Amino acid sequence: MKYKLKIITAALLLGAANALAIDLEVDASKSLTKIQPTMYGIFFEDINFAADGGLYAEMVKNRSFEFENRLMGWKQPNTSAHSFNEQSGIADIIHTADNKTNKNFARFTINDDQGYEIINEGFRGMGVKKDARYNLTLKAANHDGAIKKILVQLIDKDKKVLGETSITPNANEWKSYSAQLSAKATEAKAQLKISFVGKGTIDLDMISLFPEETWKNRKGGLRKDLVQLLYDLKPGFLRFPGGCIVEGRTLAERYQWKKTVGNVEDRESMINRWNKEFAHKPAPDYFQSFGLGFYEYFQLSEDIGASPLPILSCGIACQFNTGELVPLAELDPYVQDALDLIEFANGDLTTPWGKVRADMGHPKPFNLKMIGVGNEQWGYQYIERFKVFQAAIKAKYPEIQIVSGAGPFPEGPHFDYAQAELKKLKAELVDEHYYKDSKWFRENAGRYDKYDRNGPKIFAGEYAAQSVATVSPDNKNNWETAFSEAAFMTGLERNADVVYLTSYAPLLAHVDAWQWTPDLIWFNNLESYGTTNYYVQKLFSNNKGTDLISLTSQGVPVTGQNNLFASATKDSTTKEIIVKLVNTDKNAQTVAINVNGEKLNGSGKLIILTSAGLDDLNSFEKPKNIYPVEKKFSPKGNKMDLDLGPYSVTILKLKVK
Ligand code: AHR
């Protein structure tokens, strides 16, 4: 590469190792291709307590006593091994008819008025905020009116009461009750204590506590701070509910969307497949209440302006686990689930599943345009099942785009086989996954440059740079991973004629309950923050533009020469040219940009994300340690020099006349 020699004072001031400007030519005269509205989206999976204990704002763990260990999450501190008559009280689990979806409830026998208590520990504690209000609901059947009052208290670790309320159970039969508590102090590890006035027997079920303040203040809704972070990404799509959780360790444990809609209390709880996946991060208390179910995922997609992208089981359990297969002759119920899901999302009120959606509160369709068949399946077993789904979906809903999987790895025999077969099948969107080190991301920015322009479009559905190794618990969301992903993303954008959807994975992680790292957003029971990788995603998504335009240096795309990566788009709505520049070099570099094909009006801005150290991070203590900084930029004419700091991601926005 030849460089034009210039003396650039600013570069010297910045301490650039060389004062050579790299010429960049931007040609805005024509659109090379449209940037798809879905280009930058979100991958959601219930891993790391992302749903229960995370996005779903329920604070009580095992609220309906359905975990395998029925009282997991609950303790009865002042009962002991004494004989029953000496005990203050006891909780027994009553298992009702097996054909029910909510099978169990707790029967409390109280011997000692107010001497008995049961405490729920929440999801590694409950986060309560001073002066905030919390909605308690429960179901009770009070035998012979024996219990006069149910006392409900939020307590801290020293059992100090932070807030309290009570319920008068006035019916022998099951009845729903509600009450409100407010907290006197902020506490990250509060617990919920229940005690009783009166002696005798009372049954309780669905003991639930939600903050009053949720996203859009929906009752039983989602955590506001977490949805806000998602909303701020302006995501083009929301993929749900995973990930491997779709497949299940066994077929019986696959995700079945029909069991996740309708009345919340009738949604059958199930073990979460990440419960025992990693010996180094066991989570025996990880179950799925499905309070966040498919209706809520569609609603969330709508709320955040994202196109919904549900993924369903294709009849193969996770091939890293059992790999159980549904015989082809028995695949019908699985295919029917896909067809019914499309009806649930888009069908009118006269259709059975459209009516279910309407009855849940959304008469209008959810405007589903895409559906995924399988996650990380591989081999002929996948292809032969995919064919069955493809034929059935296209016969009934030709307008629905189908996402197919390409296995867990971005290269190798499984990948090559899937690519070749899916091409023959004229697959529309192929989901590729890459969990690789930072260097791989920098070295593969040209991955799609040579992809077949007549083949399937690409969904880069799961990717994240790993600072140590895939599934290592020591991976960090450090700055090197983030700017390396940014470098790679310029390659995704440069190939927007082939790459239609992209998403970082996984999305959310509870700091005390995660299984997989790195993750885009970390949270505890009170707070959350976006990682450095989050801000890279946000910058690309918020500045994606509408059309790809040409950006070259010495006549070729900028794919890592001199550790520089770049792409350019224009935005026909905001009338801007947007140049994304990623300097992965330890030294500052200067670029000399020449914009052709549009007249600039002299105003613009620079958004810069940078940090000095490769290991630098955001954290709860310093959530904005690495954070985009915006400044005005006023070019004189169409040529401009720009200094790119070491290890920096720069978005240059130029207004056109
Ligand atoms: O993102 C975590 C897991 O990684 C996903 O569940 C799976 O699809 C991939 O292997």
Print the SS3 string covering 508-571.
EEECCCCCCCCCCEEECCCCEEECHHHHHHHHHHHCCCCEEEEEEECCECCECHHHEEEEEEEE
Residue 357 Cα to ligand 1 midpoint, Å, equals 29
pLDDT for 13 equals: 40
Cβ–ligand 1 distance for 277 under 6 Å, the answer no
Tell me the backbone φ, ψ of residue 371, rounded to 5 degrees.
Answer: -145, 140
Residue 470 Cα to ligand 1 midpoint, Å, equals 10
**Is the sign of the CA dihedral 435, 441, 445, 446 positive or negative?**
negative
The CA distance from 4 to 428, in Å, is 44
Mutational test site, ligand 1, from 376, 382, 466, 504, max ligand atoms within 8 Å of CB: 376
**% of the chain at pLDDT higher than 90:** 93
Cβ–ligand 1 distance for 47 under 6 Å, the answer yes
3-class secondary-structure state, position 116 = coil
The question of whether 376 is a catalytic residue gets the answer yes
Which residue's alpha carbon is at the smallest distance from atom 1 of ligand 1? 506
Q: 589 Cβ partners below 8 Å, 6+ apart?
A: 11, 16, 18, 22, 562, 563, 564, 583, 643, 644
Choose among 196, 219, 228, 231: nearest CA to 133: 219
Tell the CATH topology of 23-36+558-656.
Immunoglobulin-like (2.60.40)
Which one is catalytic: 376, 462, 485, 598? 376
Mutational test site, ligand 1, from 378, 382, 516, max ligand atoms within 8 Å of CB: 516
pLDDT for 112 equals: 84
List, for residues 462-504, the tens digit of each pLDDT value: 999 999 999 999 999 999 999 999 999 999 999 999 999 999 9
Residue 181 Cα to ligand 1 midpoint, Å, equals 39
Structure tokens at 345: 């999302």
Cβ–ligand 1 distance for 462 under 6 Å, the answer yes
Residue 540 has pLDDT above 90, yes or no: yes
Which range, of 91-100, 285-294, 310-319, 410-419, averages the lowest pLDDT?
91-100
List, for residues 261-293, the tens digit of each pLDDT value: 999 999 999 999 999 999 989 999 999 999 999
Which residue's alpha carbon is at the smallest distance from atom 6 of ligand 1? 243
Residue 430 has pLDDT above 90, yes or no: yes
The CA distance from 80 to 86, in Å, is 9
Element counts in the chain: helices (H) and strands (E): 11, 35
Residue 324 has pLDDT above 60, yes or no: yes
Note whether 94 and 246 are within 8 A (CB).
no
List, for residues 628-646, the tens digit of each pLDDT value: 999 999 999 999 999 999 9
Structure tokens at 303: 């709320």
Do 23-36+558-656 and 42-57+235-278+293-547 come out as alike in CATH topology? Answer: no
List, for residues 199-219, the tens digit of each pLDDT value: 999 999 999 999 999 999 999
Cβ–ligand 1 distance for 244 under 6 Å, the answer yes
- Write down the pTM of the prediction: 0.96
Residue 426 Cα to ligand 1 midpoint, Å, equals 25
Cβ–ligand 1 distance for 45 under 6 Å, the answer yes
Q: How distant is the alpha carbon of residue 328 from its chain centre? A: 32
Which range, of 107-116, 363-372, 418-427, averages the lowest pLDDT?
107-116
Residue 435 Cα to ligand 1 midpoint, Å, equals 9
Cβ–ligand 1 distance for 505 under 6 Å, the answer yes
Residue 243 Cα to ligand 1 midpoint, Å, equals 5
CATH annotation of 74-211: 2.60.120.260
Distances in Å between the Cα of 282 and the Cα atoms of 168, 289, 459 are 40, 19, 31
Question: Tell me, what DSSP letter sits at residue 39?
Answer: S
Q: Calculate mean pLDDT across residues 99-126.
A: 92
Residue 16 has pLDDT above 50, yes or no: no
Q: 182 Cβ partners below 8 Å, 6+ apart?
A: 131, 132, 133, 134, 163
pLDDT for 9 equals: 37
Helix (H) or strand (E) holding 303: helix 294-303
Ligand 1 atom closest to Cα of residue 435: 4
Mutational test site, ligand 1, from 42, 46, 47, 403, max ligand atoms within 8 Å of CB: 47
Cβ–ligand 1 distance for 243 under 6 Å, the answer yes
Residue 310 has pLDDT above 80, yes or no: yes
The alpha helices in 146-279, defined as continuous H runs, are: 224-232, 244-247
Residue 344 Cα to ligand 1 midpoint, Å, equals 26
Give 9 or 173, the one with higher predicted confidence.
173
User: How many other C-beta atoms lie within 10 A of the C-beta of residue 226?
Assistant: 20
Which residue's alpha carbon is at the smallest distance from atom 2 of ligand 1? 506
Choose among 512, 649, 635, 558: nearest CA to 24: 558
Which residue's alpha carbon is at the smallest distance from atom 3 of ligand 1? 243
Residue with tokens 């029909």: 258
Mean pLDDT, rounded, of the chain: 95
**Is the sign of the CA dihedral 106, 112, 114, 117 positive or negative?**
negative
Ligand 1 atom closest to Cα of residue 462: 1
Cα dihedral 23, 29, 32, 34, rounded to 10, equals 120
CATH annotation of 42-57+235-278+293-547: 3.20.20.80
The CA distance from 276 to 278, in Å, is 6
pLDDT for 19 equals: 57
The CA distance from 602 to 654, in Å, is 8
Which residue's alpha carbon is at the smallest distance from atom 7 of ligand 1? 243
List, for residues 366-405, the tens digit of each pLDDT value: 999 999 999 999 999 999 999 999 999 999 999 999 999 9
Domain ranges of the chain: 23-36+558-656, 42-57+235-278+293-547, 74-211
Ligand 1 atom closest to Cα of residue 375: 8
Residue 244 Cα to ligand 1 midpoint, Å, equals 5
pLDDT for 649 equals: 98
Residue 85 has pLDDT above 70, yes or no: no
Mutational test site, ligand 1, from 249, 320, 375, max ligand atoms within 8 Å of CB: 375
